[in-house]
Structure 1
C-alpha cells in the first residue's frame, strides 16, 4: 500500500483521539494541505478549498512545487481565484491517500497500514478535519469556503457544523445528498474493486494489486464525469488504429472512445489507493445534509448566516444534475443571503469545473471581487 503525497505538502495534526461520526477514533492522524498567496495582517482574506474524491492538495503551481495543479487555470496570481488578493488553503480529504490519514496510512497501534481497520468515514468527518485545520493554522473566520463535487458536500457540512466559520460560500457541481444514479455508479465501482481477487479483503500490496478492479472502477467513473454529447463530438464512431486493436486480442479495444478510457484509467491505476477509493465513495453515498443536521436540508440551509453565496451547476452533469444545484440555491436563499445561481451550458459534464475555465472563471472571479 502506498500514499501519494505531493512534494510541497504540509501537515496539521488532528487532536489525539479524533472522533469519527459513526464511531471509533483516530490517534496520531493528520491533514495534508497546501497554501497559496499570503494572509492579510488581519487574516480576513482566507479561502478554503475542499476537493473532489481523488484530488490532492496541490491545486496550483507555486515556488515550492512548480508542477501544475489540478485547478491550475483557476487559481494563482491574476486568475479567477487571485492569490495576489487571497490566501488560499486547499486540504486533502481525511480518508484519502494523498497525505491525509486514511486506509493506506500507518496505524500507530500496529505499525501496519490501517487497511479496512480504518474507522467508517463520513463527509462530516472530512468537514470537521478541515475546520480543525483552518483553526490550527490560526484562522477563526474564512472569507469563503469553496467546495467542488464531493468537496461541495463537505463545504455544506462544514458550514452547518461550524456556524460562523465562513462569511461566504461557492458551491460547484454538488448537492445536499447523492441521487440513486450516482449511488448506483459508485456501487458498481466498489464492486469491481472488491470482486477483484487481488483486492484480498483490502490486503493487497504492490505485487498483488487489484488492477482489473481499479481499471473498471475508473472507467465507470470517467464515463459519468463527462457527457454523452462530448463523447459524440470528440470521438463519434472513430476506430483505433489496426495495430492498437490487434494488440488487444479478440473483443478488445476497437473504438477511440475505448482507447481514451483505457489510457486515462491506466494513468490513474497506481496513483490512488483502492481502499481509500472505497471509503471516500461510500461516504458520498451515505451523506444526507438534512439527516446530518437532524432536520430537512432546506431547514438546515435556511439557518445559515452567510453574507452571500454562489451556486454553479452544469446542464450536462449526470452525477449531480442541475436540479440539485437549483434546489440548493433556493434553500440557501431562504436564509437571507444574496444567492446567485448559475446554470452553465458546458458540454463537459461533471468535470466541466476542471476544464471549462472560460465558463467557470468569470463568475467565480466576479463573486470574489464584488462586495468585499
Structure 2
C-alpha cells in the first residue's frame, strides 16, 4: 500500500487539529496541489479546479511534469481554461491517495499507514481543505471555482461553507445529492472490495493486495461512466478473438467490450488505494447540500452566493443524470445568480467532460472570457 504522487506536486499543510465533519481530527495532514499560469498583480485571476474521485492534482502538463494531465485538453495556454490569463489551482481531494492525506498516508502518531483509522471523510471536509489551500497560497477570492463530478459536489459545499471565496462557478456533471441508483452502484463497488479476503479489513499490502475486488469495483464504475449508446457504437457484439471463442476457458472473456473493461481495470489496479476508494465513494453517497434526507435541495442551492454560473451535463449520463444539473441551475438562479444551463448531447455519458472537449471546451472558454 502506498501513495501515488505525480512528480512536481506541491503541498500545503493543514492546521493542527483539523476537525472532520463526522468526528475526529487530523494532525500533520496536507493537501497536494499543482498550479498553472501566474497570479496577476491584483491576485484576482485565480481559478480553482476540484476533481472527481480518482483524479490527482495533475490536471495538465507543465515544466515540472510534462506528462499529460487528466484534463490536458481543457487546461493550458490558449485552452478553454486559458493559463495565459488564469492562475489555475488544482487540488487533490482530502482522503485520496494522490498526495493529499488519506488512509494510505502515514499516521504521524504511529508511524504506520492510517488505513481504517483515518477519520471518515465528508465532501464538506474536502471543501474546507481546498479553501484552506487557496488561502494559504495568498488568494483571498477566486474568480471561479470549477467542479467536475464529485468535484462539483465539493464546489457546492465550498460555496456554502465559504460564501465569500468565489465570484463565479462552473459545475459539470455533478449533483447536490446522490440518487439511489448511484448509491446502489457505489455500494456494490465497495462490497466487491470488502468481500475480497485480501482486503483484510483494510490491512493489505503490496504483496497481499485485494486485486480481484478492485478489478470488479473498477469495472462496475466504468460501465456507469459511459452510456449504453457508446458501448453499442464502439463495441457492438465484436468478439474478443478472431475465432469467436472465449479466452481462458468456457467462461473467459468472449467479447471485445469485456476486453476493454479488463484492460482499464488492470491499468487502474495499482494506481489507486482500495481504502481511499472506499472512503471517497462513501463521501459521495452521504453528501446532501440540503443537510437532511428530506431537505429541499433547490432551497439550499438558492442560498449559495455567486454572481454567475455555468452548469453543464449530458443527456446520456446515468450516474449523475441531467435532471441533477437542471436542479443545480434552478437553485442557483433562484438565489439571484446569472445562470447558464447547457444540456449537451454527447454519447459518452458521465465521462464526457474528460473526453468530449469539442462540446465542453467552447462554453467553458466563453464563460471565462466574459467579465
| TM-score of the alignment, normalized to the shorter chain, above 0.5 | yes
8 Å CA contact 1:293, 1:300 repeated in 2 = no
8 Å CA contact 1:160, 1:293 repeated in 2 = no
**What is the correspondence of 1:185-200 to structure 2 with a 5 Å cutoff?**
185-200=185-200
1:339, distance to aligned residue in structure 2 (A) = 0.1
**What is the correspondence of 1:163-202 to structure 2 with a 5 Å cutoff?**
163-202=163-202
Cα distance, 1:35–1:223 mapped onto 2, change above 3 Å: same
For residues 245 and 194 of structure 1, the distance between their equivalents in structure 2, rounded to whole angstroms, comes to 33
Alignment partner, residue 216 of structure 1: 216
Q: Report the TM-score when normalising by structure 1.
A: 0.98
Q: Which 5+ residue runs of structure 1 have no aligned equivalent?
A: none
Alignment partner, residue 356 of structure 1: 356
Deviation track 1:24-66 (CA, whole Å, cap 9, x = no partner) reads 0001000000000000010010000000000000000011110
Deviation track 1:63-85 (CA, whole Å, cap 9, x = no partner) reads 11100000000000000000000
Deviation track 1:199-240 (CA, whole Å, cap 9, x = no partner) reads 000000001000000000000000000000000000000001
Q: Report the TM-score when normalising by structure 2.
A: 0.98
Alignment partner, residue 67 of structure 1: 67
**What is the correspondence of 1:189-338 to structure 2 with a 5 Å cutoff?**
189-242=189-242, 247-291=247-291, 296-338=296-338
1:306, distance to aligned residue in structure 2 (A) = 1.0
- Structure 1 outlier segments of 4+, above 6 Å: none
Q: What CA RMSD, in Å, does the superposition of the two structures yield over aligned residues?
A: 1.4
1:246, distance to aligned residue in structure 2 (A) = 5.4
Alignment partner, residue 155 of structure 2: 155
1:302, distance to aligned residue in structure 2 (A) = 1.4
For residues 101 and 293 of structure 1, the distance between their equivalents in structure 2, rounded to whole angstroms, comes to 29
1:248, distance to aligned residue in structure 2 (A) = 2.2
For residues 109 and 24 of structure 2, the distance between their equivalents in structure 1, rounded to whole angstroms, comes to 13
Q: Which 5+ residue runs of structure 2 have no aligned equivalent?
A: none
8 Å CA contact 1:51, 1:147 repeated in 2 = yes
Cα distance, 1:247–1:109 mapped onto 2, change above 3 Å: same
**What is the correspondence of 1:113-132 to structure 2 with a 5 Å cutoff?**
113-132=113-132
For residues 168 and 77 of structure 2, the distance between their equivalents in structure 1, rounded to whole angstroms, comes to 21
Does 1:91 pair with 2:86?
no
1:297, distance to aligned residue in structure 2 (A) = 2.4
298-307 vs 321-330, which moves further:
298-307
1:185, distance to aligned residue in structure 2 (A) = 0.3
Q: What secondary structure is seen at the aligned counterpart in 2 of 1:90?
A: strand
Deviation track 1:234-258 (CA, whole Å, cap 9, x = no partner) reads 0000001158955422201000000
301-310 vs 314-323, which moves further:
301-310
1:284, distance to aligned residue in structure 2 (A) = 0.2
Alignment partner, residue 20 of structure 2: 20
1:303, distance to aligned residue in structure 2 (A) = 1.9
8 Å CA contact 2:247, 2:254 repeated in 1 = no
Deviation track 1:258-309 (CA, whole Å, cap 9, x = no partner) reads 0000000000000000000000000000000001799632222212221100
Alignment partner, residue 53 of structure 1: 53
For residues 165 and 261 of structure 2, the distance between their equivalents in structure 1, rounded to whole angstroms, comes to 40
Deviation track 1:109-139 (CA, whole Å, cap 9, x = no partner) reads 1100000000011000000000000001101
